[in-house]
Amino acid sequence: MTAIAARLTRPGFAAGGALALLFVVSLVVGVGDVSLSRLTHDPEAWRLVFASRLPRTLAAVLAGAGLAVAGLVMQALARNRFVEPTTAGTDQSAAAGVLLMTLLWPSSSLPVKTAGAAAAALAGTSVFLAVAHRLPPNQPFLVPLFGLIYGAVLGSAAMFVAWQADLIQFFEIWTRGEFSGVLRGRYELLWLSAAMVALAWWAADRLTILSLGRDVSIGLGLDYQAMMRLGLVIVSVVSALTVVVVGMIPFVGLVAPNLVTRALGDDLRRAAPWTAFVGAALTLGCDILGRIVRYPYEIPVGTILGAVGAALFLWLLFGRRA
Amino acid sequence: MIRIENVSFARGGTEILRDVSLELPSGGVTAIVGPNGAGKSTLLSLIGRLQPLQAGRITVGGHAVDSTPGAELAKVLAILRQDNGVASRLRVRELVAFGRFPHSRGRLSNEDRAHVAASLAAFGLDAFAERFVETLSGGQRQRALIAMAFCQDTPCLLLDEPLNNLDMFHARDLMRRLRAAADERGRTVVAVLHDINHAAAYADRIVAMKDGRVVADGPPAELMTPETLERVFGHRIRVTTIDGRPVALHHL
Amino acid sequence: MIGRAPLALAALAALALLATAAFLALNLRGDIGFALELRGARLLALVCVGVSIATSTIVFQTVTGNRILTPSVMGLDALYGFVQIGLVFALGGLGFATLDPRMKFAGETALMTAMALALFLPMLRARLDMTLMLLSGVVLGVLLRSLSSLLARVIDPNDFAIASGASFASFNAVRGDLLAVASLMTIAACVVVWRARHVLDVLALGQDASTALGVDWRRTVAGLLALVAALVAVSTALVGPMVFVGLLVVALAERVVNTRRHAVLLPAAALTAIVVLVGGQATLQHGLGGASALAIVVEFAGGLLFLALLFAESRRR
């Protein structure tokens, strides 16, 4: 046990150090000078940090960690390595949900809208899982394929409604992940996704058993349906939160868990914390990248991750076979 | 120990089990045999509450399988299914350790660890313990799954075609372990077997099924007659005796 | 079955004519000559798009031996978009953007054809599992679209319209300047495909069988793929990316004529495409107000059909 602990702590320190470094870089980089030298004497710089940079950085870390763990849970539920909330209709359903809330109760508060989004995400993901479990298990690529197209169909239906209702601007905000609008007081809901990560960690053993299939789960005395629901709630709430607060961020939930489970295996108890780490670092890193590629303009993190994540996805698909 | 009363089961309009009643006392090895489609696996999965009962009643150790909480039943019976396509990236040790979940709820005690180690050793898995299950061969994976079921350490053990994918050495080894579990620790073992000779050599009792009904039931010596076997399997099978045990020459 | 085909084709042709007439004549007001000219150009574009989508989809399906694939599902239209924006990015300083649109179109098409061949020929020859091929195509499409919008933002960070505008096809803003060259390309491609219709029937039997029957599989397929790429360039350049229309149209046509023989299916699918696009546009434009919606509606229906086919296909194996 101690040998394993020793083996784990060194990369643990490395990862913690890397994330901390990204965190500091994220505080300093961007429009508006917050260089370290200025921080020593200028209170204005500190104001900028607390009002904008720190919330933005925290939002990226929370959203990244949440989405990565949601992806890990999703993969256990679907028993398929290549699914995640944006490729299973979850995010698209959440966007449709918040759209409906905006249409029907325009004056409802952000938490209420988020609840609506979560409910829609729950429904949309349940449909996906019901179909995914009926697809033949010997064709593992069928499930993500179905999920991608299912998400696209849901997304275009929602977009059609948004178009008709002249809400297309809002819809773009929900569907394109972006941290530039994050300010103090406008991201705090995202802390709930940290709670969801904790929930996944708490149920890690049972979620791992769930990934072994229905028969094994029942054989080991698990309440299969209840665990399925718990997993769905984790995935849906995280998705809804990110969609409402910062917008869709693709591929984090796919790439981070795959990178981690490749090295550590599918035991969620072991993989979940690392997945959260990698997801947070990936999201934060891409956000920083988006800030410097076309300085002083910003490129949304969703756009960056769409490219980076899709490339990594292809690598995951073919890397193993080579 | 296991009491099955008037169980019938249909799927998609096809009757799979028709009014099956059986009583299996505590301790001992029972083999369920029969041709394909006889309803053996369905019966086993109904005992293991993997499928909901449609008609009739099943109790295991006095617990009705359809109303006892799953977590409680998991301490009474362990079930190994036939089609365990575990494609998971779990290490063998992790997989086997999940057999302790009903007892530990995920927090392994030293006793749990001892069980895991014993199961790994018993099925010759020590060398693979840190390998991912998906990298194992079919037979090794089957042994890992059997080890997991053993590790659950329940009074009652249900196995659906456990010899699948196993080589001769490991098939014999498993049958001896099942025998020992019954003799030394008083376990109740129920196994669906497709080889009648494995059943005859190691089981106390053979239950033969056909078309969803129990058509013969008794100790091997009683059941292993050409007449009974023809009734079950549909063709004449010679039976001879080697070292006092009946052996069916079904391949001839 | 043979007897049914001419009848079905005739019926489809009649429907297509009806749709065309409706498109041109419904609610005609004001300066009739001018309006007809405008609508005529639009009609020509829609027909061009329909025919090229139908033809490219059939050829692609036959070549890949898969009835769920369309060039767009495999990311070809995203490739075209990427080539477009990539050329602007790479050659922007050289005044590429101000070049004659027809020249630009020709350059883009050539480059895209080359890239499509480089991407898909190895894939076809590796005989990938169908679902893996589909999945990688879809992901490739996502990658190319993301790269395009990334480049678009790097080129012009303020122009949000680039990113959002390119993600949906529109039949209202048809590119008139490209109409002539696009029509010519469509006609040329159709002639080539029509003359190859019997070869296509053979190719549908698969690589081994067609080689055994004396078809040079590699060369033929490479040529046909290049043709498909050019056709996708035509439709994407004219109206924008459409992923599922081809699938919808070909599946409908196959249902109507009940054969996979290319001599029948090619014209049937082209006619069906005209009925769906021209008829749909006429209905939506004049009947149902929301004229910009046709692309979304057709895509939605096509997406659902794709899911249904995928499900059925996976069950069959």
Q: Does C317 have pLDDT greater than 60?
A: no
Torsion of CA C183, C188, C191, C196, to 10 degrees: -130
Model confidence pLDDT, tens digit, residues A257-315: 988 988 888 889 989 999 999 999 999 999 999 888 877 788 888 889 988 988 988 88
Q: Does A19 have pLDDT greater than 90?
A: no
Structure confidence at residue B90 (pLDDT): 80
Residues in chain B with CB shorter than 8 Å from the CB of A221 are 69-75, 101-102
Q: What's the rounded mean pLDDT across residues C61-85?
A: 82
Q: Do B and C touch (≥3 CB pairs < 8 Å)?
A: no
pLDDT band at A5 (very low <50, low <70, confident <90, very high): low
Residues in chain A with CB shorter than 8 Å from the CB of B53 are none
Please, what is the average pLDDT of chain C?
Answer: 80
Contact (CB<8Å) A303/C153? yes
- Distance of alpha carbon C102 from alpha carbon C177, whole angstroms: 8
- Distance of alpha carbon C19 from alpha carbon C16, whole angstroms: 5
Q: Do B and A touch (≥3 CB pairs < 8 Å)?
A: yes
In chain A, whose CA is at the least distance from the CA of B45? A215
Show the tokens assigned to A265: 């295996």
**Angle of helix A54-78 relative to helix A224-245, nearest 10 degrees?**
150
Structure confidence at residue B176 (pLDDT): 87
| Residues found in chain C | 317
Contact (CB<8Å) C139/A142? no
Structure confidence at residue C166 (pLDDT): 45
The pairing of strands B156-160 and B77-80 is parallel
Q: Does B127 have pLDDT greater than 50?
A: yes
Q: Does A204 have pLDDT greater than 60?
A: yes
pTM of the model: 0.80
* C146: nearest CB among A136, A145, A307: A307
- The count of CB pairs under 8 A between chains A and C is 109
CA dihedral over B241, B246, B247, B248, signed as positive or negative: positive
Q: What's the rounded mean pLDDT across residues B153-174?
A: 87
What is the gyration radius of the CA atoms in chain C, in angstroms?
19
Q: Which of B74 and C95 is assigned the larger pLDDT?
A: B74
Note whether C308 contacts A: Cβ–Cβ < 8 A.
Answer: no
- Shortest distance between the Cα of A60 and any Cα of chain C, in A, equals 19
Q: Which of A226 and C97 is assigned the larger pLDDT?
A: A226
Label residues A105-133 b or e (16+ Cβ within 10 Å = b).
eeeeeeeebbbbbbbbbbbbbbebbebbb
Q: Does C274 have pLDDT greater than 50?
A: yes
**Angle of helix C130-155 relative to helix C76-91, nearest 10 degrees?**
30
Note whether B88 contacts A: Cβ–Cβ < 8 A.
Answer: yes
Please state the separation of Cα A312 from the chain's center in Å.
Answer: 16
Model confidence pLDDT, tens digit, residues C128-174: 676 777 788 888 888 888 888 888 878 776 654 444 444 455 666 66
In chain B, whose CA is at the least distance from the CA of A224? B70
In chain C, whose CA is at the least distance from the CA of A296? C157
> Tokens 């890949």 correspond to what residue?
C64
Q: Does B165 have pLDDT greater than 80?
A: yes
Note whether B68 contacts A: Cβ–Cβ < 8 A.
Answer: no
Contact (CB<8Å) A163/C145? no
Model confidence pLDDT, tens digit, residues A46-62: 887 787 888 889 999 99
Q: How far is CA C31 from CA B3, C172, C217, in A?
A: 89, 19, 54
Half-sphere exposure of B120 (CA within 13 A, CB side): 22
Note whether B102 contacts A: Cβ–Cβ < 8 A.
Answer: yes
The one-letter code for the residue type at A320 is R
Note whether C316 contacts A: Cβ–Cβ < 8 A.
Answer: no
Beta partners for residue B55, in sequence order: B8
- Distance of alpha carbon C58 from alpha carbon B159, whole angstroms: 51
CATH tag, C4-316 = 1.10.3470.10
- Shortest distance between the Cα of A303 and any Cα of chain B, in A, equals 31
Domain ranges of chain B: 1-76+156-252, 81-153
Q: Which of A92 and A159 is assigned the larger pLDDT?
A: A92
* A215: nearest CB among B81, B101, B102: B81
Residues in chain C with CB shorter than 8 Å from the CB of A293 are 154
Note whether B49 contacts A: Cβ–Cβ < 8 A.
Answer: yes
- Give the three-state DSSP class for A284: helix
Structure confidence at residue A257 (pLDDT): 92
Note whether C297 contacts A: Cβ–Cβ < 8 A.
Answer: yes
Residues in chain C with CB shorter than 8 Å from the CB of A313 are 139, 143
**Which range in A112-116, A296-300, B149-153 is most confidently predicted, on average pLDDT?**
A112-116
Note whether C288 contacts A: Cβ–Cβ < 8 A.
Answer: no
Q: How far is CA C218 from CA A56, C153, C211, C213, in A?
A: 53, 39, 9, 14
Contact (CB<8Å) C139/A148? yes
Structure confidence at residue B85 (pLDDT): 62
Whether the CB-CB separation of B10 and B16 falls below 8 Å is answered with: yes
Q: Does C277 have pLDDT greater than 60?
A: yes
- Distance of alpha carbon B167 from alpha carbon B174, whole angstroms: 10
- Give the three-state DSSP class for C239: helix
Q: How far is CA A91 from CA A85, A158, A292, C123, C306, in A?
A: 6, 11, 27, 31, 20
> Tokens 């390119």 correspond to what residue?
C166
- Calculate ∠ Cα A244-C73-C303, nearest 5°: 60
* A145: nearest CB among C135, C153, C304: C135
Residues in chain A with CB shorter than 8 Å from the CB of B74 are 219-222
**Angle of helix B138-151 relative to helix B110-122, nearest 10 degrees?**
140
In chain B, whose CA is at the least distance from the CA of A265? B89
Note whether B162 contacts A: Cβ–Cβ < 8 A.
Answer: no
Note whether C303 contacts A: Cβ–Cβ < 8 A.
Answer: yes
In chain A, whose CA is at the least distance from the CA of C128? A318
In CATH, the architecture of B1-76+156-252 is 3-Layer(aba) Sandwich (3.40)
Structure confidence at residue C76 (pLDDT): 84
> Residue B37's CB: how many other CB atoms inside 10 A?
14
* B101: nearest CB among A79, A205, A267: A205
Q: How far is CA C288 from CA A157, C47, C50, in A?
A: 17, 21, 21
**Angle of helix A54-78 relative to helix A252-264, nearest 10 degrees?**
70
User: Where are the alpha helices (H) located in A135-251, listed in sequence order?
Assistant: 142-164, 168-175, 191-202, 204-210, 214-219, 224-245
Contact (CB<8Å) A221/B49? no
pLDDT band at A7 (very low <50, low <70, confident <90, very high): low
Q: Does A3 have pLDDT greater than 80?
A: no
Contact (CB<8Å) B70/A223? yes
Note whether A317 contacts C: Cβ–Cβ < 8 A.
Answer: yes
In chain B, whose CA is at the least distance from the CA of A268? B90
Q: What's the rounded mean pLDDT across residues A200-221?
A: 89
- Can you give the residue range of the structural domain that contains A173? 2-319
Name which of A218, A223, A274 to mutate to probe chain B: the one with the most chain B Cβ atoms within 10 A of its Cβ: A218
Q: Does B21 have pLDDT greater than 80?
A: yes
Residues in chain C with CB shorter than 8 Å from the CB of A82 are 135
Show the tokens assigned to A210: 């769930």
Model confidence pLDDT, tens digit, residues B177-222: 888 888 888 889 999 988 888 888 888 888 989 888 888 888 888 8
Sequence-separated (6 or more) residues with CB below 8 Å from residue C274: C16, C19, C20, C46, C47, C50, C51
- Shortest distance between the Cα of B230 and any Cα of chain A, in A, equals 34
Contact (CB<8Å) A306/C290? no
- Calculate ∠ Cα A236-A241-A245, nearest 5°: 155
Q: What's the domain count of chain A? A: 1
Show the tokens assigned to C15: 């429907």
Contact (CB<8Å) A310/C146? yes
Domain ranges of chain C: 4-316
- Distance of alpha carbon A129 from alpha carbon A229, whole angstroms: 11
Structure confidence at residue C158 (pLDDT): 61
Whether the CB-CB separation of C140 and A321 falls below 8 Å is answered with: no
User: Where are the alpha helices (H) located in B108-235, listed in sequence order?
Assistant: 110-122, 138-151, 168-185, 196-202, 220-223, 226-233
Sequence-separated (6 or more) residues with CB below 8 Å from residue A223: B70, B71
Model confidence pLDDT, tens digit, residues A166-199: 887 788 888 888 888 787 777 888 999 999 999 9
Please, what is the average pLDDT of chain A?
Answer: 85
- Calculate ∠ Cα B96-B100-B105, nearest 5°: 130
Note whether B89 contacts A: Cβ–Cβ < 8 A.
Answer: yes
Note whether A264 contacts C: Cβ–Cβ < 8 A.
Answer: no
The one-letter code for the residue type at A297 is Y
Structure confidence at residue C164 (pLDDT): 41
In chain B, whose CA is at the least distance from the CA of A225? B70
Measuring CA to CA, which residue among A231, A210, A229, A205 is closest to residue B103? A205
ipTM of the predicted structure?
0.79
> What is the arrangement of strands in the sheet containing B2-11, beginning at the earlier edge strand?
B14-24, B2-11, B55-60, B63-64
Structure confidence at residue A280 (pLDDT): 93
Model confidence pLDDT, tens digit, residues C217-266: 788 888 888 899 889 888 888 877 777 888 888 988 888 887 788 888 99
Contact (CB<8Å) C136/A164? no
- Give the three-state DSSP class for B240: strand
**Which range in A142-146, A195-199, A306-310, B55-59 is most confidently predicted, on average pLDDT?**
A195-199
Q: What's the rounded mean pLDDT across residues A9-26?
A: 81
Residues in chain A with CB shorter than 8 Å from the CB of B92 are none
Model confidence pLDDT, tens digit, residues A73-112: 999 998 888 888 988 889 999 999 999 998 898 888 888 9
The proportion of chain C whose per-residue pLDDT surpasses 70, expressed as a percent, equals 85
Note whether C306 contacts A: Cβ–Cβ < 8 A.
Answer: yes
> Residue A318's CB: how many other CB atoms inside 10 A?
12
Q: Which of C130 and C188 is assigned the larger pLDDT?
A: C188
What subunits touch chain A, counting only 3 or more CB pairs under 8 A? B, C
CA dihedral over B189, B140, A257, A214, signed as positive or negative: negative
Structure confidence at residue C173 (pLDDT): 60
Note whether B91 contacts A: Cβ–Cβ < 8 A.
Answer: yes
Q: What's the rounded mean pLDDT across residues A117-121?
A: 92
Measuring CA to CA, which residue among B57, B33, B59 is closest to residue B205? B33
Q: Does C2 have pLDDT greater than 70?
A: no
* B50: nearest CB among A206, A215, A262: A215
Show the tokens assigned to A216: 């094994």
- Give the three-state DSSP class for A78: helix
